[in-house]
Amino acid sequence: MKKLISICLTAALGLGLLAGCGEKTAPGSGEDSAQSAGSAQGEREGGAALASFTAGTLDGGSFAPEDISAKDVTILNFWALSCGPCIVEMPDLAQFSAALPDNVQLVTVCLDGAGNEDSVREVMEQSGFAGITIISGDGDLAALASSLMYTPTTVLTDSEGVLSDDVIIGGQRDLSGTYLAAVNRVLAAGGKDEISLES
């Protein structure tokens, strides 16, 4: 019986690592929200959108809807310092981000980054991620973050900030292939040419 319980616990732990960590904190807010992402966010063309928000970045800058509109696709990876699988996949995210063409960007959103900037910086430096990392935000971004059940969770938007139906939850065995396929679906839906990764 003890052996069966041990096997069940091991299997549950393994599934938990693949699925990710539980998390429901908006960036910088420290509060849960009962609103769903769809009802809390702006709506464009029948889909949920990141239409109105401001966000603070790890480097002291800001990120806003204008930064999304500057690219054909924006990939937002929501993660937390308290989430082991999030940190484990960060080097893969860094490598994927570095291979993207100019019309696609990957932005990380550290849900527990405000007040923990040194720890976030250390994770980013160790992983080699050189892109934008958001550590605080409000409006549609905070509403989206509050609606998340697990980390890591990755969502994609087009240049209008409209969220794709593709939501990537948990660590991915083939992160590059999974993300590239999702990016190309967003590009195709917008009548844009698909991309391949730079060598």
In this predicted model, what pLDDT tens digit does every residue of 111-130 receive, in sequence order? 999 999 999 999 999 999 99
Q: What is the pLDDT of residues 35-89, one digit of tens each?
A: 233 333 344 344 589 999 999 999 999 999 999 999 999 999 999 999 999 999 9
pLDDT of residue 22: 56
Which residues does 7 contact at the CB level (< 8 Å), separation at least 6?
none
- Total Cβ atoms within 10 A of residue 153: 23
| Residues 83/152, Cβ–Cβ less than 8 Å | yes
- How far apart are alpha carbons 46 and 48 in whole angstroms? 7
Nearest to 157 by CA among 56, 37, 27, 24: 37
Nearest to 141 by CA among 198, 82, 57, 71: 57
- 79 token code pair: 């993660």
Mean pLDDT of the chain: 82
pLDDT of residue 197: 87
- Total Cβ atoms within 10 A of residue 93: 25
| Residues 89/120, Cβ–Cβ less than 8 Å | no
pLDDT of 1 strictly over 50: no
- How far apart are alpha carbons 145 and 41 in whole angstroms? 11
CA atoms 136, 73, 32, 54: torsion sign? positive
Query: Scanning the structure block, which residue is given the tokens 């065995």?
Result: 173
Q: Where are the alpha helices (DSSP H) in the chain?
A: 2-19, 37-40, 65-69, 84-99, 117-127, 139-147, 175-189
pLDDT of residue 47: 58
pLDDT band at 16 (very low <50, low <70, confident <90, very high): very low
Nearest to 75 by CA among 103, 52, 51, 48: 103
- How much is the average pLDDT of 131-146? 96
- How much is the average pLDDT of 183-192? 96
